[in-house]
Amino acid sequence: MILTKSTLILLLATLSLAEPSPSSANLRPLRPHDPLAEAISSSLKRNDAGNTTTTNSSTDGADRVLRYSLQQKQFNGTAATTARRRRQQHKARRRDAMFESDEEARLVRREKWNWKHLEDYRGYLYFMEIEIGDPPQLVGLTPDTGSFETWVNPNCANAASAYLCAKNGMYHPEQSELAVTQNERFDFGYGSGWVNGLYYEDRIYFRNEDVGIRQKFGLATDSSYAVSGILGLGYGIGYTINYANVLDSLVKFDLINAPIYSVSLGGQGQGTSEIVFGGVNQARYSGYLQAVPIWPSVYEQAQDWVHYRVNVSSMGYTTPFGKKTSFFNPGTSSDLNVLVDTGVTYTVLPPAMVDAIAEQFGAKWDVGEYTVDCAMRDQPGTFDFGFNNDKLIIRVRYFDFILKIQEGRCTFGLQQGTDSDAILGNTFLRGAYVVYDQSTHALWMENYDECGSQVAAVGRSAGDVGRTRGLC
């Protein structure tokens, strides 16, 4: 299996995440000397004329936060692959899982903070709804930290699940008074499918129907396998593409202070998963977040392919009896470079490493994935990931690392990749609180916890993420 770019993809009876590999001849990225000064800061405090309106909340930096809760749900499905690549934005709402009651999407507001609900399809897939156009049209997307762009409208006739694809809704530009075609095509290839279409520009809504941003995004004319479009949250203008992506636009229109957002998926089927744009939830971790530098640096990565890559210094597990076992550590091997990606279901490692780990857990290869005894999920062990020469250890519970596909069938949270393409996907992220910070080019991490809710804005000064103390 070739693992490159990915977008979450779902099979009908089987939920399947495939990791796609994007390519686009139309993207001519610019590389600024200073990412904030040239690509972002030049747009700060500047309102687009035309059809875009700015937020009606306070313009004080402390108030520039958009919070989206990713409600976790259960469903019946199997299998997984991995895929991704897109770009877009947020006025998300809540959607119930594929095989449960369909709850009407709604915007939830609390004081100054906004948040939206993302469905967790038993740990395989996270959906988020946005509104596009005037009048607004609801569309379900997969938020993806490994993608740069956004596209909508997969071809449901060619989707892995026509049913789920239809539930995610469609955007009809002819029904929007603000839609403008860009007369520019896109064509992306993936490990499990492809998509092509035309770029459009329209208004994407955040806080209410009166507040939004004007945004460029892709409208698919044909696709294979995909059941939803993608909300790309990766590096945008100045690094990978030649226009402002959604995160860039949030800064441009003063909705957040800096290109920063935090992700907490939380326990599988438990608690609340969320994304906070421009802020952190201090009640999702304890102590202070630690900065894990993006490596290679954004200037040393491929010019049109800049990602949130970091080094893992060790990997191992702790048994229910407290015995610790390492697969590699700083004293025996070099660091493993990985992509930290919400767009991938599993943690993807080199084949030899996956085989060795699977053997120790008695996992069996079956139809493209490793299966394990479901009883193992309830044991109090952890999978342990070290960063910064093991100054930070993220511990993921067995319960969150092993996926229960259906009664009596559970899959191991690992998949084979290549020797040069490792990914920490959702099976890792459920144990971590991660802040993606483009202003300092670092991922700030700590172990996930939950003790209420307290959202704080960040990005008013460089590195203030690390000075915002967790309350748990």
Contact in structure between 104 and 303 (CB atoms under 8 Å): no
Residue 251 to residue 45: CA distance in whole angstroms: 8
Q: Is 341 an active-site residue?
A: yes
110 strand-pairing partners: 113
| Active-site residue identified among 120, 144, 202, 254 | 144
Contact in structure between 226 and 154 (CB atoms under 8 Å): yes
91: its two tokens: 């006025």
Contact in structure between 253 and 47 (CB atoms under 8 Å): yes
| Active-site residue identified among 202, 248, 341, 437 | 341
Query: Which residues have a catalytic role annotated?
Result: 144, 341
